[in-house]
């Protein structure tokens, strides 16, 4: 059984993220969507909220598990016996950074592979930061995120 890890901040999870996770779930027996609890990034949603949102969005996909983590992704891969790290790439600008990360991860754990997936063309421009910004100005983000995420964003910005 091949287990893959799809790590990210997911602040919030977008339709692009969900597309990558769903397609990874078709490729691997198990996909762990690993929500990083990073202190280096200022997030709108706390770690528990991000895990709940991702779990809600991906609940229909039976071979996906959503967890939080606060370590190197290679340590998580070793702990979960994962052999693949899934990364989404929207544009060429993403590739340079992701290529460097893949090389570094392979130095840290030699038997890990990184698989790059691109989202569907109609989702390739969506970023969590743009979704947060649009939402902060009461813009409609319904076409970019799951309904539950749209509601959570509205509630967060009303506070």
106 is catalytic: no
Answer whether 5's CB lies under 8 Å from 71's CB: no
The whole-angstrom separation of Cα 89 and Cα 71 is: 22
The whole-angstrom separation of Cα 84 and Cα 105 is: 11
Q: Residue 148: what are its φ and ψ, rounded to 5°?
A: -65, -35
159 is catalytic: no
The H or E element spanning position 8 is: strand 3-8
146 is catalytic: no
Answer whether 73's CB lies under 8 Å from 37's CB: no
The whole-angstrom separation of Cα 158 and Cα 151 is: 11
The whole-angstrom separation of Cα 46 and Cα 38 is: 10
157 is catalytic: no
Per the residue annotation, which of 30, 50, 87, 128 is the catalytic one? 128
The H or E element spanning position 21 is: helix 15-27
Per the residue annotation, which of 78, 83, 90, 156 is the catalytic one? 90
- Which residues are known catalytic residues? 17, 41, 90, 128
């Amino acid at each position: 059984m091949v287990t893959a890890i799809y790590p990210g901040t997911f602040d919030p999870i977008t339709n692009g993220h969900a597309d990558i996770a769903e397609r990874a779930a078709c490729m691997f027996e198990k996909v762990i969507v690993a929500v990083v609890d990073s202190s280096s990034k200022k997030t709108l949603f706390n770690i528990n909220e991000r895990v709940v949102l991702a779990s809600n969005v991906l609940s229909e996909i039976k071979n996906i598990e959503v967890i939080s983590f606060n370590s190197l992704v290679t340590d998580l891969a070793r702990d979960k016996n994962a052999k693949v790290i899934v990364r989404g790439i929207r544009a060429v600008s993403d590739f340079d950074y992701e290529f460097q990360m893949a090389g570094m991860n392979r130095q840290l754990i030699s038997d890990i592979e990184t698989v790059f997936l691109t989202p569907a063309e109609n989702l390739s421009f969506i970023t969590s930061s743009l979704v947060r910004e649009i939402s902060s100005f009461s813009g409609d983000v319904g076409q970019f995120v799951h309904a539950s995420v749209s509601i959570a964003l509205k509630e967060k910005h009303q506070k």
